[in-house]
Structure 1
């Protein structure tokens, strides 16, 4: 428990550094591109259009059952957090291995590197979500009390991403093939995380229950519960307990491995 408290203290005492470096790295990644940071918005937009053409029009998913919400809105609510989580996971895997020079040359708190990878994508997430909400409200879907849950699900998403980045970054440094495994797994998870396909059509089926074991599904469906005014977080309290239990275990494993191997990270360069 002490190492977890120390890890939390390191995160909070370096939060300013986390946001500054994350902002710098994001700008540096796009500085050679003509459109610059606009690609953070353009790239997911192109993908959303493609998914809508395939799943919304070609496969007949134009209208959802929930309050008559058009499929495009239903899909937007799922893919916006998915794009952010997918990017955070893929970036988080390399967050330590890609900064070994920084670790070896300076006295840098290695514990904040995975957190920086999670923070990097926040501007893109807020931009996409903000534009969607403007469109959503503009078409007559006005906010109600359920929307308060967006705050809860946002912080739950951040906690999950930080936990996964912390654990994955250490594993990938020790076992380099792990990066490829995560990348391949994310392609599969896209179709079983409820982003573009309704996986909860038959809630009593074994397959649906297996899908719901994926913590990402909890986040995706949570955003829909809030914006579609479907349910409160308390309506499936055991699912919430399961989510935070799994997230905490992932975080504890990541913090433990970071603390155990951080003095040897440079040897893996």
Structure 2
């Protein structure tokens, strides 16, 4: 636990550095493209459109989700969250191995590299979040006090992403195949994250297994907030499970990182 507390303090101490480097990397990724940063918006929109044609029009016809909004709007709320999580975790697994040679010669806290990776995708997430809210309001969904719990679920998402990416990015340095394992696992988790399937329509036995995926807690949490379905404390078992899962990876990742950080260059 001491290692985890120390690493969390490093994130807060170097927050301004994390945001500056993230902005630079975000621009550098697209500076050679004609449409530049516009691709950050086009890519998720194309992906959402593709999944809607397959799972919305193709499999559901014109039916609406059980929460009373069109399936497309319901799906966009989940897809916005999923795409940010998926990108953060898949890219985050390579956050240290891709940069360790660049920063090994200077005094640089390697444990902020996963945070930089997460922050670099935040502008796209923010735009897609605004699009989601506009769609919700256009369908007659009015803001309520429950929208305030978005802050809670956003904190859940950021802490979860850092815990997982710190763990996987450290393991990737030691075991290079880890990045491919992460990509494969994320492809599987997409179908059990509640992003395109309405969990409420499934048998209880299946919902139980889906709930073991902590990403489902975040995706459904944002829907609970924006669709005013429930407060987060109404599901104490899921909340305890989510935070136990997250803290386990945070502690395990912190211990691994601090143990091997001095020899990362040797493994690369």
* TM-score past 0.5 threshold: yes
2:218 is the counterpart of 1:219: yes
For residue 191 of structure 2, give the secondary structure of its aligned residue in structure 1: helix
Matches within 5 A, 1:167-182: 167-182=167-182
Aligned residues of 2:65 and 2:74 also touching (Cα < 8 A) = no
User: Once the two structures are superposed, what CA deviation does each residue of 1:145-180 show, in whole Å capped at 9, x if it has no partner?
Assistant: 111111111110011000011000011111111111
Map of 1:41 onto structure 2? 41
Measured after TM superposition, the shift of residue 243 of structure 1 is 0.4
Measured after TM superposition, the shift of residue 7 of structure 1 is 1.1
Distance 1:199 1:139 in 2: 21
Aligned residues of 2:30 and 2:36 also touching (Cα < 8 A) = yes
2:155 is the counterpart of 1:155: yes
Map of 1:194 onto structure 2? 194
Map of 1:117 onto structure 2? 117
User: Once the two structures are superposed, what CA deviation does each residue of 1:1-28 show, in whole Å capped at 9, x if it has no partner?
Assistant: 3222221221111001000001101111
Measured after TM superposition, the shift of residue 140 of structure 1 is 1.9
Aligned residues of 1:193 and 1:211 also touching (Cα < 8 A) = yes
Map of 1:64 onto structure 2? 64
2:140 is the counterpart of 1:140: yes
Unaligned runs of at least 5 residues, structure 2? none
Map of 2:8 onto structure 1? 8
User: Once the two structures are superposed, what CA deviation does each residue of 1:163-218 show, in whole Å capped at 9, x if it has no partner?
Assistant: 0110000111111111111111111111111111123423521x321110110000
Distance 1:264 1:5 in 2: 22
Unaligned runs of at least 5 residues, structure 1? none
Matches within 5 A, 1:195-210: 195-202=195-202, 204-205=204-205, 207-210=206-209
Map of 2:239 onto structure 1? 240
Aligned residues of 1:62 and 1:72 also touching (Cα < 8 A) = no
- Using a 3 Å threshold, how does the CA distance of structure 1 residues 122 and 196 change in structure 2: closer, same or farther? same
- Using a 3 Å threshold, how does the CA distance of structure 1 residues 154 and 95 change in structure 2: closer, same or farther? same
Map of 2:105 onto structure 1? 105
Distance 1:213 1:179 in 2: 22
State TM-score, norm by structure 2. 0.96
RMSD: 1.3
Measured after TM superposition, the shift of residue 61 of structure 1 is 5.2
| More divergent stretch after superposition (4-13 vs 44-53) | 4-13
Distance 2:249 2:225 in 1: 26
Map of 1:23 onto structure 2? 23
Runs (4 or more) in structure 1 with deviation over 4 Å come to none
Aligned residues of 1:193 and 1:199 also touching (Cα < 8 A) = no
Distance 2:198 2:61 in 1: 10
Distance 1:237 1:112 in 2: 31
User: Once the two structures are superposed, what CA deviation does each residue of 1:98-143 show, in whole Å capped at 9, x if it has no partner?
Assistant: 0022232211111101111111111110100112212321332111
- Using a 3 Å threshold, how does the CA distance of structure 1 residues 189 and 67 change in structure 2: closer, same or farther? closer
Aligned residues of 2:48 and 2:79 also touching (Cα < 8 A) = yes
